[in-house]
Structure 1
Amino acid sequence: MSARDTILRRLRERTDGPLSAPESDFAVVTHRGWSAEERLERFERLITSVHGEVLHVTRDDWTQALAQLLSDKGVNRLALGREHPVAAEARAALADAEVELVDVDRAIESWQREQFDRVDAGLTSVRGAIAETGSLWLWPTPDEPRRLSLVPPLHVAVLDADTIEDTFFDVVEAHDWAGGMPTNALLISGPSKTADIEQTLAYGVHGPRELVVLVRHPKGA
């Protein structure tokens, strides 16, 4: 009998019942008790510390801020979805702008080189953010595939201020990741970065060189 078979036999022949998971205390990863203002401050401080940019806008003027950002960054071709309200509002606002809007709802094989060589920026919505780590979290969809935030040299993410939560654990619990997590959940904490053996940090080697987060606030906030 192999060692594997011996271990399995012992497990099957247990006389004191099935094994059960020990009680776990998750207090260390939740219950921060931060206010909305504290969550926003922590998120912004952490994501800007790793070269992310944050622009504060309102839900009424965010598309004007987007148009100005694209102009300032010299963006000529912007990739974005169609169905999500963020993409739909951006398309309407940029219809007459000097920016070519690139459709992403195509088979990857038909425009693989185009997206790597000719797209200047990608625009995405986000599901929320994490104050403790300064991270965005995204659930890619066919309308906003994961490459939209991972391939273009500039990633523009639109975040509603009231969707920032304290910790990663709070996000997982509040949004039932265990019951419905997608296969491509993304956590983004700044632009792409890597370090060589000498610990020299470089940005944009394997993805976007720049990340700009448009934080949307209610009008008058």
Structure 2
Amino acid sequence: MAELHKIIASVKDALGTGARNNSHPADTIAAVPVSPSALRTELASAFARELEEVGGKFLGILSPAEVTNRIVSLAGELGAETVALGQGVAIDMDAIGEALERADFRIVRTLPVADIERPAMRSRVAEAGLGIAEADFAIASTGTLAVVSNANRPASLTLLPPASLVIVQIDRVMLNLAAVLAEMGPSGIAANRMTLITGPSRTADIEKRIVLGVHGPKSLHVIVMWPRDD
């Protein structure tokens, strides 16, 4: 991740130069150019801050190789003997499943099934200690994940296991919900069912005490993946 630190340092230097120039208000100050990578990093950092504020756990901005190793470590930390995972948007979930199997975890893979078999599939997912899904988008302003459900990635993956891990590509971290909806477009919104996840499940009891995990995962972990070619 040395390249990431270089990007952040270059942004700080550029901002510092802009501040010095601003000591002459009468001068015309040109906008500081910011690279697309720096903008993505800033959005990811804002998302991480908001995620932590709502009780989620940010596991970092990781390369594809680091993602697999971190997932295996997390499954061990959680004591999740069984892990449920579906197909990804762009991530090779099969490779992640194989790495988990080599580490002696049992895997439940969600696949398209007939209507009569869906209750059995949901039951297997619910019995897993950890559910893994790839988000279609992340929303920086609220720390929210947007996951489109389909037969390969049912909503049960992020709803039923007691711990949830969601992975999102860094270029799919958007500023706000409006940006997500604009990216999907009217046809995409009409054709898909999207789940918005903001932190782990939390419910207030009659005494207004917050209880985690009643209607969904008790813990939510998120990884932002840095692309291979950056």
Superposition TM-score, scaled by structure 2 size:
0.74
Identity of aligned residues (%): 27
Matches within 5 A, 1:107-126: 107-116=117-126, 118-126=127-135
2:197 equivalent in structure 1: 188
In structure 2, the CA distance between the partners of 1:201 and 1:35, relative to structure 1 (3 Å rule), is same
CA contact (8 A) 2:84 2:109 kept: yes
Partners of 1:133 and 1:52 lie apart in 2 by 12
CA shift digits 1:80-114 (9 cap, x unpaired): 12575442221232231110001322422224444
1:17 equivalent in structure 2: none
Partners of 2:228 and 2:123 lie apart in 1 by 41
CA shift digits 1:28-75 (9 cap, x unpaired): xxxxxx932331122111111122111122122210111111111111
Unpaired runs of 5+ residues, structure 2, are 1-37
In structure 2, the CA distance between the partners of 1:132 and 1:82, relative to structure 1 (3 Å rule), is closer
Q: 1:211 aligns with which of 220, 223, 226?
A: 220
Partners of 2:77 and 2:107 lie apart in 1 by 17
Matches within 5 A, 1:122-137: 122-137=131-146
Structure 1 position 163, deviation (Å): 1.2
1:69 equivalent in structure 2: 74
SS at match of 2:182: helix
Q: For the aligned residues, what is the CA RMSD?
A: 2.1
1:98 equivalent in structure 2: 104
SS at match of 1:186: strand
1:179 equivalent in structure 2: 187
CA contact (8 A) 1:86 1:158 kept: no
Kindly indicate whether structure 1 or structure 2 has the higher relative contact order, using CA contacts under 8 Å at least 6 residues apart.
1
SS at match of 2:181: helix
CA contact (8 A) 1:60 1:219 kept: no
SS at match of 2:167: strand
Matches within 5 A, 1:34-73: 35-56=39-60, 57-73=62-78
Unpaired runs of 5+ residues, structure 1, are 1-33
When the two structures are aligned, how many residues end up with a matched partner? 186
Partners of 1:39 and 1:150 lie apart in 2 by 26
Quick one: which amino acid aligns to residue 57 of structure 2? E
Instruction: Pick the structure with more helix per residue.
Output: 2
Q: State which structure, 1 or 2, has the greater radius of gyration over its C-alpha atoms.
A: 1
SS at match of 1:41: helix
